Amino acid sequence: MRNKLATTDFLDKAFDKLFQAVGFESWDKEFTKRDDWYTQKTWTAEQSNDYKKWFLAEVKKDLKLKKTQAEKEWNWFNLMWGWKEQN
């Protein structure tokens, strides 16, 4: 079972990096209080891929996940929180 504190720490780091990818200094919790905050910013396929590589490496290291577990976590995280990709 994962350590709850480690998971929280990882998510704080992941959200900081997610927001930095689209120009924020860090995770802007006030921004996320808007109803459709996740549609207000977009990122390119390249930005998304770079973030995914970072996410997978960090989640494996921080939470001691195997590759398949890390990929599952990425899929859920991206589905729930990932920025909309530019066409």
CA 75, 80, 84, 25 torsion-angle sign: negative
pTM of the model: 0.89
Tokens of 64: 């001691």
Q: pLDDT digit string (tens) for 6-31?
A: 899 999 999 999 999 999 999 999 99
Q: pLDDT digit string (tens) for 61-84?
A: 999 999 999 999 999 999 999 999
Strand ranges inside the chain, DSSP E: 42-43, 84-85
Q: Give residue limits of the domains in the chain.
A: 4-22+40-85
Higher-scoring residue by pLDDT: 72, 35: 72
